[in-house]
């Protein structure tokens, strides 16, 4: 699902008003690829969100999260031709975290660029068609996500102590989330996003930690969402998971959380079969429940995060016990802190043993995300 909507507080005054011309996700649409891998500038908020589990040939484990956000600050109706190169239509932001699971270290960083003079960008497909080797979908400084001519994606990011350089090759077509790609997050027309995933992507490349480089391979998950409004009154955060199961299936669930920590009725998910067929899951089709007493408390933000969960999908006879690969995977950033990290799971599917690896995102545990409300 990604944390893109926390940008709701950034530049909101410039983007709202009685003559708001931002488009809204308020009806079904036809998705088209590769066009929809590129930007949708007439929506206020958009993000490209990759997570993955990779390891060396010797078995050393890593996890990564890489997200590029676009937050619109000039509505479409206000985009008269600028006379200054300092004028920008969007605020670009990036988050990059690397979990050295076996080394027990967690690296995280944030990039914020004004975007003027090409320091960040979100080209549409027409603007990128002239590049010969690979088309950048989005970049913030020297962090970038690019689309190769063979349909693969490349991820490049660096911070103090950690460098990521990966190629992600999709092993199937995009999966539309929600109702044919329209993901309703709260009551009311337009309180939704357009949402699709590339859930299973063969991943190869290199990870560098503390000056030492490792060749790695594994699986990644790419989420794409764009929207103008989403969360409603009473929703204080969410818990989101993506898992690659050992039986070839993939699972995405998100539990929108209310103030009493109960699941909101707009919680949702998707179970993807090994043959790439998918099934939408409504909030009553699954449970995603913290296991009592298994939490981690952040000394940086004061947030208390549940780091062990039980997942049940009764209609699939699927039960998983999921836990953090390492407790401290919090991105203690400004203006918001959240937990985003590698998780492992084990359980049964129709009575057969199954394991899983993936990612968990938890927001709102260090304070309600009021900035997410439009």
Query: Which listed CATH number (3.40.50.300, 2.40.370.10, 2.60.40.10, 3.60.60.10) goes with 4-25+32-372?
Result: 2.40.370.10
Q: pLDDT tens digit string along 93-137?
A: 999 999 999 999 999 999 998 777 778 889 887 766 654 444 899
**Going by C-beta distance under 8 Å and a sequence separation of 6 or more, which residues neighbour residue 51?**
63, 64, 65, 66, 220, 221, 242, 340, 358, 359
Instruction: Give the Cα separation of 264 and 256 in Å (integer).
Output: 5
R_g of the chain computed on alpha carbons: 20
What token pair was written down for 226? 């764009």
Please report, rounded to a whole number, the percentage of residues in the chain having pLDDT higher than 70: 89
With cut-offs at 50, 70 and 90, classify the pLDDT of residue 3: low
Res 14 pLDDT > 60: no
**Going by C-beta distance under 8 Å and a sequence separation of 6 or more, which residues neighbour residue 284?**
none
DSSP character for 152?
-
Mean of pLDDT values over 313-323 = 98
Cα dihedral value 20, 24, 27, 31, nearest 10 = 130
Q: pLDDT tens digit string along 319-359?
A: 999 999 999 999 999 888 999 999 999 999 999 999 999 99
pLDDT value at residue 187: 87
With cut-offs at 50, 70 and 90, classify the pLDDT of residue 76: confident
Q: pLDDT tens digit string along 127-167?
A: 666 544 448 999 999 999 999 999 999 999 999 999 999 99
What token pair was written down for 189? 């027309």
Q: Return mean pLDDT, the chain.
A: 89
What token pair was written down for 251? 């699972």
Instruction: Give the Cα separation of 123 and 55 in Å (integer).
Output: 33
Q: By three-state DSSP, how is residue 71 classified?
A: strand
Give the residue extent of every domain in the chain: 4-25+32-372
Mean of pLDDT values over 39-56 = 96
pLDDT value at residue 133: 46
Sequence-ordered alpha helix ranges (H) in the chain: 12-15, 125-128
With cut-offs at 50, 70 and 90, classify the pLDDT of residue 83: low
Res 58 pLDDT > 90: yes
pLDDT value at residue 211: 95
With cut-offs at 50, 70 and 90, classify the pLDDT of residue 278: very high
**Cβ distance 225 to 50 under 8 Å?**
no
**Cβ distance 266 to 291 under 8 Å?**
no
Residue whose entry in the numeric block shows the structure tokens 């129709």: 350
pLDDT value at residue 156: 98
Q: What angle do CA 304, 308, 310 make, to 5 degrees?
A: 130
Mean of pLDDT values over 225-243 = 87
Res 10 pLDDT > 70: no
Higher-confidence residue: 131 or 39?
39
pLDDT value at residue 370: 46
Instruction: Give the Cα separation of 312 and 318 in Å (integer).
Output: 6
Instruction: Give the Cα separation of 269 and 263 in Å (integer).
Output: 13
324 half-sphere exposure, CB direction, 13 A CA radius? 23
Higher-confidence residue: 247 or 231?
247
């Amino acid at each position: 699902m990604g944390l893109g909507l926390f940008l709701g507080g950034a530049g909101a005054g410039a983007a709202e008003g009685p003559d708001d011309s931002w488009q809204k996700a308020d009806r079904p649409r036809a998705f088209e690829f590769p066009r929809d891998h590129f930007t949708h500038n007439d929506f206020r908020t958009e993000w490209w969100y990759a997570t993955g589990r990779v390891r060396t040939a010797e078995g050393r484990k890593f996890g990564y999260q890489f997200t590029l956000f676009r937050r619109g600050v000039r509505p479409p109706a206000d985009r008269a031709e600028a006379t200054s190169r300092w004028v920008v239509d969007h605020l670009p932001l990036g988050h990059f975290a690397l979990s050295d699971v076996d080394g027990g270290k967690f690296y995280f960083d944030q990039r914020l660029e004004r975007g003027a003079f090409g320091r960040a960008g979100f080209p549409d497909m027409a603007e990128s068609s002239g590049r010969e080797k690979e088309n950048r979908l989005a970049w913030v400084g020297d962090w970038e996500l690019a689309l190769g001519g063979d349909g693969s994606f490349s991820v490049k990011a660096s911070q103090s102590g950690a460098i990521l350089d990966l190629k992600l090759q999709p092993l199937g077509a995009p999966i539309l989330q929600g109702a044919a790609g329209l993901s309703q997050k709260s009551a009311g027309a337009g309180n939704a996003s357009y949402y699709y995933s590339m859930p299973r992507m063969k991943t190869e490349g290199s990870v560098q930690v503390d000056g030492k480089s490792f060749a790695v391979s594994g699986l990644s998950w790419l989420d794409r969402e764009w929207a103008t409004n989403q969360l409603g009154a009473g929703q204080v955060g969410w818990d989101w998971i993506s898992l690659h199961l050992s039986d070839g299936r993939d699972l995405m669930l998100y539990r929108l959380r209310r103030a009493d920590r109960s699941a909101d009725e707009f919680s949702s998910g998707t179970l993807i079969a090994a043959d790439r067929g998918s099934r939408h899951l409504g909030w009553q089709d699954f449970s995603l429940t913290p296991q009592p007493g298994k939490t981690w408390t952040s000394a940086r933000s004061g947030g208390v995060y549940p780091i062990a969960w039980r997942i049940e999908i009764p209609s699939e006879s699927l039960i998983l016990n999921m836990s953090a690969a390492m407790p401290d995977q919090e991105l203690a950033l400004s203006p918001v802190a959240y937990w985003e990290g590698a998780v492992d799971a084990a359980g049964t599917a129709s009575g057969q043993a199954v394991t899983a690896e993936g990612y968990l995102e938890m927001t709102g545990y260090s304070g309600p995300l009021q900035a997410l409300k439009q």
